[in-house]
Each structure stands twice: as C-alpha cells, then as structure tokens.
C-alpha cells in the first residue's frame, strides 16, 4: 500500500478485546467479502483486511445482529392509510426497537440488562436525525446528541425570540400574540383576542403590555396575575436593554422569567436545557463580535424553522445518560455495548464540479467539457475523466474503511438499519455505489435486482422488514397516549359545557364581505330575468359558469388588450381537464371574449389599451359596526378586473359569467370598488358589471352610501 511505498512498515494488532467473540466472527466473514484479503491484488489506497482474533472468554449470551430494512416499493399503494415517509418509518422502527428491546429489558450485555446509556445510534450525517429525535421523545426514551440541529425548530428559541423582538418592536402584533400564548404568559385564547383587538381613541392597535392587567377583559384573577407577571418582566427587560448584553437578556428570560422551570417540570422537555446552552453560546458569540440585539434578532429570524447544523458551536452535553446520537466519524476510538448503524441508505455528500483536476503525472489541468458540433455538453476531457474515475475508487475504499470503523464500535449487539428508494439502489450508478446499505447487502450476495428478503447468505444477520406506519399508529403506541384513559377523556369532553363566543372580524375581502351582506339582507330586490342566450345554442355546463371559467375568459381579454392573444395559461382548477374538454372550454371562452370586444365598451377598451389597467389590487379601510366602544374600523382588500381611465372619469369593469344578471346582488362589492378607485384616482368613478355570457354591461348608479350599506351588518 501507500505506507510501505514511502518506507513505512505495517504493525498489525489482530486481537479485538472489545467485541463479543461471535460478533468478531461476524466481522471476519463480513469484511472478507467487503474489503478482500491479502491474496487479492488491490490498489495501493485500498485497505487490506486481516482476520481479527477473539479473546479466550465466551460470555454466556449471544449477540444480536439484525438488519431493519425497507424495500423500495415504487408507487404501489400500501394497506396503511396515509403512511409516513420511508425515512420516518425507519426512525420509528429504530425508536421502537430501543424502547422494546432495551427499555423492556430483553437485551442482555455482559451479565446485566442493557440500559439506554449502552446504546449508540451512529450515522454518516445528522440530516435525518430530526425524525429519530421526535420518535424517541414520543416514546419517552432519553437521549443525547452530538450535533444539535433542531435548535431553531423547537419552542424555546421561538419563544425567546418573540420576547426579545417585542423589546425592540413593541408594535409587532404577531410576536405579541405568540408571546401571550407562550409559557412566559400562558393566557387563554379568549383573553389574547381581547387584548389584540383593543384600540386607542384613533382606532390604532395598542403596542405590547400597555394594559395594566386590571381591566375586565382579563376575566379571572388567574389571567390577570399571569399577565401582570409577564408585564413586569417585560418592563424590567426594557430598562436593562441599554446596558445589558444579549446573553444577559437571554439568561434573565431563562432563569428570572421562569422558562427553565417549564423545561424541568416535564421529562420530555429536558432536551431544552441543551437548547438553552446553544442559544446562550450563540448570544455570547454575537456579543463578542459587538453586534446589537436587532442584528442578533435578524440572525434568529432567518433561521427559525430551519433544520441545520451549527458548525461554530462545540457544546458539552448536560446529560450523560440516555441513547447517544452521533456521527460515525465522531465515534472513532469509542465503544458501545449496543450499536445501531442508522440511515445506511444515505448516499453521502455530493461533491460539485471543480474548475481543475490534478493528476500525479501531468499536474493541474482545467476540468472542462467537450462540446459536440451543436455546442452541447458531450463528455469530460481525458484528464477530468481520469481523475474522476480514480477519485471514485478512492471514495469507495474510504467508504469501506468507514463501514469497518462503524461496525467495530459494537461490543455486544449490532443493528443495521436502512431503506431503499428510487435513487440509491442502482449498483451501476454512482449514487448506488456510495451507499453503505448496498455495501452490506452485496456482502450478503445481493445483485441489486432480487428481493433482499430472499437472500440466504446473510452471514448470521437476521433481516427484518420495516413496516409501513401512519401517524395514527404512532400516536396510539406512544407513551403519552397510553398513559391517558382515552375513553374517560372522551366522556369528559362530551360532558363539558359548550361556550359559543364570537369576535368581530377586522379583515375581509370585497367578495366575502359582499356575500355576507347578501346573506344578511336576504333576496336582492332587483331581478333582471333569464339569460337572453338562445337555449338551443351552445348549452353551457357548470364548468362554463364557475369562477375558474370566468378567470379563463378574463385572461383572454387581458391578453388581447396587451397585444398577446396567444393561448392563455389555464387556471389551476382546469388543468386536470382532458385535451378535448380543454379545447372546447378555450374556444367557448374566446367566443365570449370576442362578444365583449364587439360591444361599445369593449371596443373602447381595446382602442385605449394604454389607459387600461387590469387586476388592480387595493386595500381599503372603512368604518365598521358601531359598538359600545365606538366605531370599529375594518380593512377590505380586493382585486379589480379592469379599469379604464377617461381622464375626466374612471370606469370600473367587473366581469361576471353568471347565467342570470342580478346587479343588486353585487351592490356592496361594487361600492367598495367605487370607493377604492375614487381614493386612488381622485375623480368621478363609474362602476359596471359586464355579464360576458349575455353580452350585456350594466352600470350601477350611485345609490346608498357605503356606510349605509354596511350599517346593521354583524361581523
């Protein structure tokens, strides 16, 4: 090998004092097939395998060697309703194995029962660790992590972010709502809504913690006390803000504001103690760089919800007990009674293309592509191909060494786990060649095509299928659900007093508000009769009278105005139609659009395209109902189909595909459009309903004022 070529010598240490003799025998059989022996001619970078020797003693128990495996099933439907992904099913199978075999006392190790502290779950990367963490928590299995990746996905960082955000931006209503619901305050939903909807004399929403906690809106003494405590912490932190470091603010939230007790009182939340360590370390780094709190909040905001590894943190775990989750590289030199090699289907990191390739014979050479006569990429140049091929062989050799390190960490029991999917099972492709699961299965005689469950030379490893599993199954088998008497919970729920509450709605779309108005006002007074379309000509089905068809007609009209009469994009709800139905719908839509452009209003729109605006969005504030606290404002948003600017007046056109023309049914919507356009253009505005299927345009003259139409509505 390379060592002897440069004058070195080999010192063999064949005796393995770590592992059970039967496990050592398995290693010898496995790696003789994976690596090859001394008699085989190998490249100098290939590791040679020499048989290991076991110590003389033979413990009175047999090791378990298993493979938890899930085959690729393509698009076949399973018998499980809404099954979880293969990665989640694997994580659940591992968690269940640990809970049943170790927690249930079935697994023995050197004269005693195995404990959770004896178990190490090793993997090439921590990318899918989040699933395993979730299910270990569901089964109340304690664990520690080498790589804390879920920091920004769990509650502690999010809750502290909301509190810190309000110190800088007291008007942030989203942060305020989240904080009031968090463990820092824990107010009920009803009280939170009452606080958030409170306004000042000018109908502006109030900033955070301006209430003193004595108002009737808080309801009970318990709610008042929780609010006052949070308010006191908030104002104390505001006073600390000018001189305190970011770490000091977080330390106050953790200890003084009581978040630490939330983590301590429930064993399922003990991992949050390490989240605090990570957050305080991040704050310390930010302080050391002289960054402000707003800068730190920007960093948190960008990462909230992400699942990522924090490279700059090197934390010492608080807890020594529990299952250890770590990478294979981090496990070098360590030993564990029970080793679970998880996520063996992972194909590892994919390296990107490089600018140059370096060969021992010719030195550096540009890593470019050959182009064919048409300028298309054809293949790499010779140097690139040669280097890529050798690097692939070196990576394969390194993969074997990594596999050897992982397996030989086991003292008494070794469990493999992996899943196949469409991209990692082909042994002829690079993705399939960089998969530890395939390395193992090839040693068992797998050819990449036959069923893994039919293999007969598994070297003593028992292959078990990872079953399909649903969220419902996991909920049923989780520890927290088994501890509850669900039938008793159901009886209490059914017997609970039902309290109906309603809160005034402050945001509406113009169409939703109009529908509410029609429902409350009953039948509109003006009926314009049936469509004048001849019943014997072009009968229209439901698809030609619905919103999606109307949107299609509008797109055709808009395209013609803009001078792009090509086939329009179909609305999403029409994309599932067959080719013949689609063609018929488009033709029908074009006929309707043509009839509009043949009308006087349509001809004017087409000739004055430069003064036409379509799909105009707006946001309008109007006075809502008059309550005991005064007039409450509401916000209305909408989108106007088409606007024609005549300089001295503006025309608003709203397209309808209704079979019957009933303008008064849209009175409130059109008055909202009129008010919005008047405030934008500051000139007289006329509103028209354009009934496309009738070829008729109906102007709605000004009648009742908008405030009169809104009067009496309940929200």
What is the pLDDT, as a whole number, of residue 129?
85
Does a structural domain hold residue 375? no
What is the pLDDT, as a whole number, of residue 148?
64
More confidently predicted of 126 and 453? 453
Separation CA 270–CA 268 (nearest Å): 6
**Predicted confidence band of residue 382 (pLDDT cuts 50, 70, 90):** low
- Among 196, 219, 216, which Cα is nearest to 208's? 196
Among 503, 525, 542, which residue terminates a domain? Answer: 503
Among 273, 303, 333, which residue terminates a domain? Answer: 303
**Predicted confidence band of residue 123 (pLDDT cuts 50, 70, 90):** very high
Q: What percent of the chain lies above the pLDDT cut of 70?
A: 79
Does a structural domain hold residue 311? no
Does a structural domain hold residue 155? yes
Separation CA 294–CA 291 (nearest Å): 8
Among 247, 268, 303, which residue terminates a domain? Answer: 303
> Do 202 and 110 share a structural domain?
no
With the CA atoms of 660, 665, 668 and 671 taken in that order, what torsion angle do they form, in degrees rounded to the nearest 10?
Answer: 40
Q: Which of the residue ranges 6-15, 216-225, 549-558, 643-652 would you say has the lowest mean pLDDT?
A: 6-15
Mean pLDDT value across residues 661-689? 92
Separation CA 409–CA 618 (nearest Å): 65
What is the pLDDT, as a whole number, of residue 320?
58
Mean pLDDT value across residues 274-301? 89
Highest mean pLDDT among 387-396, 411-420, 568-577, 633-642: 411-420
**Predicted confidence band of residue 354 (pLDDT cuts 50, 70, 90):** low
DSSP string computed for 649-711:
EEEEEEEE--SS--GGGGHHHHHHHHHHHHHHH-SEEEEEEEETTTTEEEEE---S-HHHHHT
What is the pLDDT, as a whole number, of residue 486?
61
> Do 561 and 490 share a structural domain?
no
Tens-place pLDDT, residues 194-246? 898 888 777 788 899 999 888 888 888 999 999 999 999 999 999 999 989 99
Count of domains observed in the chain: 3
What is the pLDDT, as a whole number, of residue 558?
86
> Do 298 and 429 share a structural domain?
no
What is the pLDDT, as a whole number, of residue 539?
38
Does a structural domain hold residue 357? no
What is the pLDDT, as a whole number, of residue 229?
95
What is the pLDDT, as a whole number, of residue 709?
82
Predicted structure pTM score: 0.59
Which residues form the domain of 678?
Answer: 507-710
What is the pLDDT, as a whole number, of residue 366?
62
What is the pLDDT, as a whole number, of residue 208?
93
**Predicted confidence band of residue 262 (pLDDT cuts 50, 70, 90):** confident
**Predicted confidence band of residue 555 (pLDDT cuts 50, 70, 90):** confident
Does a structural domain hold residue 635? yes
**Predicted confidence band of residue 379 (pLDDT cuts 50, 70, 90):** low
Does a structural domain hold residue 380? no
**Does an H or E element contain 244, and which?**
none
Mean pLDDT value across residues 107-124? 91
Does the pLDDT at position 421 exceed 50? yes
Q: Which residues of 532-549 are buried (b: 16+ CB within 10 A; e: fewer)?
A: eeeeeeeeeeebbeeebb
Q: What is the DSSP secondary structure assignment for residue 411, as one 8-state letter? A: E
> Do 196 and 96 share a structural domain?
no
Q: What is the CATH number of the domain that holds 469?
A: 3.40.50.300
What is the pLDDT, as a whole number, of residue 494?
83
Q: What is the CATH number of the domain that holds 633?
A: 3.90.320
What is the pLDDT, as a whole number, of residue 394?
80
Does the pLDDT at position 640 exceed 90? yes
> Do 241 and 124 share a structural domain?
no
> Do 196 and 157 share a structural domain?
yes
In 607-660, which ranges are E strands? Answer: 612-627, 630-645, 649-656
Mean pLDDT value across residues 60-74? 88
> Do 171 and 296 share a structural domain?
yes
In 410-517, which ranges are E strands? Answer: 410-419, 462-465, 507-509
What is the pLDDT, as a whole number, of residue 296?
92
Mean pLDDT value across residues 38-61? 69
What is the pLDDT, as a whole number, of residue 529?
38
Separation CA 101–CA 340 (nearest Å): 13
Q: What is the CATH number of the domain that holds 233?
A: 1.10.486.10
> Do 164 and 140 share a structural domain?
no
Does the pLDDT at position 363 exceed 80? no
Residue spans of alpha helices (H) in 40-111: 86-97
What is the pLDDT, as a whole number, of residue 527?
44
Does a structural domain hold residue 659? yes
Identify the bridge partners of residue 365 per DSSP, sorted by sequence position: 357
What is the pLDDT, as a whole number, of residue 273?
79
Does the pLDDT at position 536 exceed 50? no
Provide φ and ψ at 490, rounded to 5°: -65, -45
> Do 339 and 298 share a structural domain?
no
> Do 179 and 204 share a structural domain?
yes
Does a structural domain hold residue 536? yes
> Do 129 and 157 share a structural domain?
no
Does the pLDDT at position 531 exceed 70? no
More confidently predicted of 583 and 225? 225
> Do 530 and 467 share a structural domain?
no
């Amino acid at each position: 090998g390379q060592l002897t070529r440069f004058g070195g010598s080999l010192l063999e240490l064949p005796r393995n004092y770590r592992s059970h003799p039967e496990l050592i025998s398995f290693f010898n059989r496995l790696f003789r097939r994976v690596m090859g022996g001394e008699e085989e001619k190998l490249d100098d970078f290939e590791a040679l395998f020499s048989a290991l020797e076991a110590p003389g003693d033979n413990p009175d128990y047999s090791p378990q060697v298993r493979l938890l495996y899930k085959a690729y099933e393509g698009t076949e439907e399973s018998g499980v309703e809404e099954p979880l992904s293969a990665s989640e099913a694997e994580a659940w199978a591992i968690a269940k194995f640990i809970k049943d075999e170790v927690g249930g006392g079935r697994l023995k190790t050197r004269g005693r029962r195995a404990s959770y502290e004896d178990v190490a779950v090793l993997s090439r990367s921590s990318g899918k660790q989040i699933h395993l963490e979730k299910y270990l928590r569901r089964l109340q299995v304690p664990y520690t992590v080498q790589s804390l990746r879920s920091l920004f996905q769990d509650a502690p960082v999010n809750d502290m972010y909301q509190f810190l955000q309000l110190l800088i931006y007291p008007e942030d209503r989203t942060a305020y709502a989240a904080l009031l619901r968090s463990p820092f305050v824990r107010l009920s939903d009803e009280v939170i809504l009452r606080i958030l909807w409170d306004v000042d004399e000018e109908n502006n929403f109030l900033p955070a913690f301006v209430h003193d906690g004595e108002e009737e809106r808080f309801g009970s003494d318990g709610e008042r006390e929780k609010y006052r405590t949070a308010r006191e912490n908030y104002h104390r932190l505001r006073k600390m803000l000018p001189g305190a470091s970011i770490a000091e603010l977080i330390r106050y939230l953790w200890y003084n504001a009581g978040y630490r007790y939330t983590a301590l009182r429930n064993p399922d939340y003990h991992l949050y103690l390490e989240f605090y360590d990570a957050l305080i370390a991040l704050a310390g780094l930010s302080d050391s760089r002289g960054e402000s709190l707003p800068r730190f909040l920007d960093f948190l905001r960008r990462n909230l919800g992400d699942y990522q590894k924090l490279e700059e943190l090197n934390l010492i775990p608080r807890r020594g007990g529990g299952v250890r989750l770590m990478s294979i590289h981090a496990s070098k030199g360590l030993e564990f009674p029970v080793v679970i090699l998880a996520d063996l289907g992972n194909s590892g990191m994919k390296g990107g293309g490089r600018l140059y390739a370096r060969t021992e014979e010719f030195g550096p050479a540009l890593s470019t592509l050959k182009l064919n006569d048409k300028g298309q990429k054809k293949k790499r140049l010779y140097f690139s191909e040669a280097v890529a091929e050798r690097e692939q062989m070196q990576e394969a050799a390194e993969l074997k060494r990594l596999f050897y390190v992982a397996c030989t960490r086991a003292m008494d029991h070794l469990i493999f786990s992996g899943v196949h999917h469409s991209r990692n099972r082909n042994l002829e492709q690079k993705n399939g060649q960089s998969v530890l699961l395939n390395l193992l299965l090839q040693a068992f005689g797998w050819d990449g095509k036959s069923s893994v469950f039919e293999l007969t030379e598994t070297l003593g490893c028992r292959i078990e299928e990872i079953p399909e599993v649903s969220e419902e199954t996991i909920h049923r088998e989780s520890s927290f659900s088994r501890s509850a008497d669900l039938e008793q919970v159901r009886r209490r729920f059914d017997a609970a007093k039902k309290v109906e509450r309603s809160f005034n709605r402050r945001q509406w779309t113009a169409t939703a508000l109009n529908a509410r108005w029609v429902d409350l006002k009953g039948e509109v007074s003006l009926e314009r009769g049936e469509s004048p379309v001849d019943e014997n000509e072009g009968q229209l089905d439901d698809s030609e009278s619905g919103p999606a068809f109307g949107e299609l007609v509008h797109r055709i009209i808009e395209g013609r105005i803009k001078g792009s009469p090509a086939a329009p994009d179909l609305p999403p709800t029409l994309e599932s139609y067959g080719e013949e139905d689609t063609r018929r719908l488009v033709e029908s839509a074009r006929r309707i659009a043509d009839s509009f452009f043949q009308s006087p209003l349509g001809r004017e729109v087409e000739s004055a395209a430069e003064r036409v605006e379509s799909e105009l969005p707006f946001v309008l504030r109007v006075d809502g109902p008059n309550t005991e606290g005064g007039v409450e404002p509401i916000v209305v948003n909408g989108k106007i189909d088409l606007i024609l600017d005549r300089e001295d007046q503006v025309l608003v056109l709203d397209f309808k595909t209704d079979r019957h023309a009933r303008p008064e049914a849209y009175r409130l919507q059109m008055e909202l459009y009129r008010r919005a356009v008047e405030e934008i253009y500051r000139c007289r505005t006329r509103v028209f309903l354009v009934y496309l299927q009738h070829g008729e345009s109906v102007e709605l003259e000004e009648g009742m004022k908008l405030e009169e139409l809104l009067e009496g509505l309940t929200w």
